[in-house]
Structure 1
Amino acid sequence: MDKFHTSAPTSLGIALSGLVALAVAMGVGRFAFTPQLPLMQADLGLSFSGGGWLAVANYSGYFIGAVLAGTRGISALVLMRCGLWAVVVSTAAMAVPESFTWWLGMRFIAGIASAWVLVGTASVVLAHLAALDVRRLDGLVFAGVGIGITLVGLICHVGALLGLGVSVLWLALSGLALIGTLMTFKIDRKNAPLHSQGGTRMTLEAPLPRGVYSLVLCYGLFGFGYILPATYLPSQARSLLNDPVLFGWVWPLFGMAAALSTLCVGFLVRWPRKYIWAGAQVVMAIGIFMPIVVPSLFGLSVAAFCVGGTFMLITLIGLQEARQQAGHNAQKLLASMTAAFAVGQLTGPIAANFLLRVGWPFNSALWLGISALLASSALLVRFNSR
């Protein structure tokens, strides 16, 4: 890898590039559908089951994107840039009204793009920050996810209060993604290290250490556990609260909690990462549990803070642990963990749809998610003690 400049502006610029990239890829490409779902249900008559299948399409694309990201010889920077443009285009294409098959295709493409940007950013940006010995900025990079979610949630909330249609909001979100993509490229041009790509084609031929497969399993269980509240929390709020001024704030709260959690990761460095990961999943399980037992604004707010405040913390901790254990083979392990996560989140909406079809309440799916998170925490503690 080329030598890096150690100036503060360079390291901060690299971190900001990653922050904006993740805000676009995850805030828009992955999670824009979540605050749009209740609006599509109200305006376009989209069924709860139909929303689940659109989520499945996105998560299927995320899985395919993660697998492709682990292909030998693919530049992480290319993944990052192509993924950003694909998010812009696929989000704008969602404005085509009442074409369910078209929506499925666009959500699938957005899923592929999101995985590419996540793996590319984790491989390129975190590697450069590590080489500059500024790992403390990792949390700033991953705060981009929460910032993106918050911005998207506020746009959808304000748009709904103003009576804007779903198609107009999809175009507005595409415009937000376009601005972020252009900002990322502008920041990149000011930071030469991001163009020094001689070492960003990670070594993919070497086998992964045996111990890392426990990380892959636990990360997959995490994906299953978190995806149900991450997909359906605004719809739960809409079904429990009649006032749109109230239920529309649930998703922005989720995003703000996600952004703050990654900025606080530096205070947790004294504990082993696996213990932090396990504890965060217990907090997330409590958050999922709250709307079941307290179906009110209070329960939903606690869920937003507990789930939003832990899911990006777990993501960051998991990817940091993967980079440490895999070394130069990090891109392959990052792709494997992202693929396992995608499988977990793919099965979540499928399980929920199946339970609804056989007459079980939606809360039964939430109990499955809670069980997966607690199982992952137990495995992490056991593997760490070994």
Structure 2
Amino acid sequence: MSRQHIGVLFGGVLLLVVAMGISRFAFTPILPFMRIDEGMTFEAAGFLASSNYIGYFIGALGAGYIYRQKKNFLLITVVLNVLSILCMGITHSYLLWIILRFIAGITAGYIFVLTSSIILDYLAKHFLSRWSGYLFSGIGLGIAISGLFVPFFEASFSWEGTWIGFGILSTIFLITTMTLWRSITIQDGEKVEKTRETKIFRGFMPWLVIAYGLEGLGYIITGTFLVDIIYNIESLRPFASFSWVIAGIAATPAAPIWMALISKMSTVKVLSIAYILQIIGILLPVFSQTAWSVLLSALLFGFTFVGIVSISTAYVRELFPKQSGAVVSILTTAYALGQIVGPIMASGFETLFNSYKAPLTFAGTIIIFALATLLFGKLFSDRKQLNQITELQNE
């Protein structure tokens, strides 16, 4: 792999660090400090999270319609994303937080879909698709960075300074990517005709999209409230921020590891293993509230959610190589739709039962449904395809 290829890939990794690891998930370890200092309720925090995910839904949907000047459009959205991070630290208005998290969500949706499309297409063009898993390590790396830096920033500059610090860090990452990509020409995608929907939504694809949407709904409850839940168990409070570091460390090498497993097993089998491990991770704190159980929960969360994202995204791109932007957008939109509902339902369950166990149990149940949908969908689509082949042979 040449230095230029490494530079392009690393630039993509840094953009995912900014958009996913920092812009989206730094909110998780910062949330406990914001809630205490600002007197924010669990329910208010849920709406704040959902604002971000509504934006992410819109951004992911819109990104599927960007066919020209992808690189320039992408970099502009990153600038807006970084500004939304910085501004979180200079206001105490809940309404402005809602707006800023919404902007962060829209831009993050565009960044994830466009970066994935650009880099996966670039690697495929240069016969380097085996390196695609490393792109998604940016999500885990960003989570690890947010988990490591939040305690340091917060102790010195409070939660306001933490957001500003992350804004400065994100600016550095953006400048680095622009430097690495300065002489790179990203080929524009082909505009797909309106018939694409009928061609894309066939076979196993609809089942995969539904399962992925349920995954978005279930995983985000842990992704949003994990640190806050641990922080509110007094005996485990010292492990709260550390749990997010564990999640990030586990997530960083996750994508390459999961992608390597695909060469030994079928994609659906690997996805099923990831779903099962995630269910165990989500439900662990329900049955055991010890340091090892919550840290293992964080590890399984980080390792599996990035794996599911990377496998699913690469898989649909493989199924529809000429429509990478469209299919990644459809998949991510379903994921984002689940994320919008997740935090609101989680806060509702927590309020109703006055226990963090309720939203975690709900999240685990949803992932079980996701796994069932995946397996049933594969069985159904394979049987339907076999019947069609048999009918053709009999004609």
Counterpart CA distance in 2 for 1:244 and 1:370 is 23
Q: Deviations over 1:221-275 (max 9, x none)?
A: 1101100110001101111245754322111111110102113134302211122
Where in structure 2 are the equivalents of 1:142-157 lying within 5 Å?
142-157=136-151
Structure 2, gaps ≥5 residues long: 383-395
Which residue in 2 is equivalent to 1:203? 192
Which residue in 2 is equivalent to 1:285? 279
The alpha-carbon deviation at position 362 of structure 1 amounts to 2.9
Query: Helix, strand or coil for the counterpart of 2:252?
Result: helix
Counterpart CA distance in 1 for 2:236 and 2:281 is 22
Query: Helix, strand or coil for the counterpart of 2:181?
Result: helix
Which residue in 2 is equivalent to 1:35? 29
The alpha-carbon deviation at position 20 of structure 1 amounts to 0.7
Query: Helix, strand or coil for the counterpart of 1:77?
Result: helix
Which residue in 2 is equivalent to 1:370? 364
- Check the 8 A contact 2:267/2:311 in 1, yes or no: yes
Q: Percent identity?
A: 28
The alpha-carbon deviation at position 17 of structure 1 amounts to 1.3
Q: Deviations over 1:114-142 (max 9, x none)?
A: 11111001110111101111112112111
1:256 matches 2:249: yes
The alpha-carbon deviation at position 88 of structure 1 amounts to 0.6
The alpha-carbon deviation at position 305 of structure 1 amounts to 0.6
1:351 matches 2:339: no
Which residue in 2 is equivalent to 1:165? 158
TM-score by length of 2: 0.90
Structure 1, gaps ≥5 residues long: 1-6
The alpha-carbon deviation at position 76 of structure 1 amounts to 3.2
Which residue in 1 is equivalent to 2:385? none
1:130 matches 2:138: no
1:21 matches 2:15: yes
What residue identity is the alignment partner of 1:289? L
What residue identity is the alignment partner of 1:254? A
Aligned CA distance change for structure 1 residues 222 and 149 (closer, same or farther; 3 Å): same
- Check the 8 A contact 1:80/1:118 in 2, yes or no: no
Which residue in 1 is equivalent to 2:298? 304
Aligned CA distance change for structure 1 residues 45 and 74 (closer, same or farther; 3 Å): farther
Q: Deviations over 1:54-76 (max 9, x none)?
A: 10100000011111112264543
Aligned Cα root-mean-square deviation (Å) = 1.7
2:216 to 216, 223, 226: 223
Q: Deviations over 1:180-233 (max 9, x none)?
A: 11111111125x2xx243x33552532324122112111101101100110001
Counterpart CA distance in 1 for 2:21 and 2:79 is 14
Counterpart CA distance in 1 for 2:102 and 2:190 is 26
Counterpart CA distance in 2 for 1:21 and 1:299 is 32
1:108 matches 2:97: no
Counterpart CA distance in 2 for 1:310 and 1:24 is 20
Counterpart CA distance in 1 for 2:332 and 2:230 is 29
Counterpart CA distance in 1 for 2:228 and 2:31 is 7
TM-score by length of 1: 0.93
Aligned CA distance change for structure 1 residues 77 and 230 (closer, same or farther; 3 Å): same
Counterpart CA distance in 1 for 2:38 and 2:49 is 17
Counterpart CA distance in 2 for 1:358 and 1:323 is 41
Where in structure 2 are the equivalents of 1:313-352 lying within 5 Å?
313-352=307-346
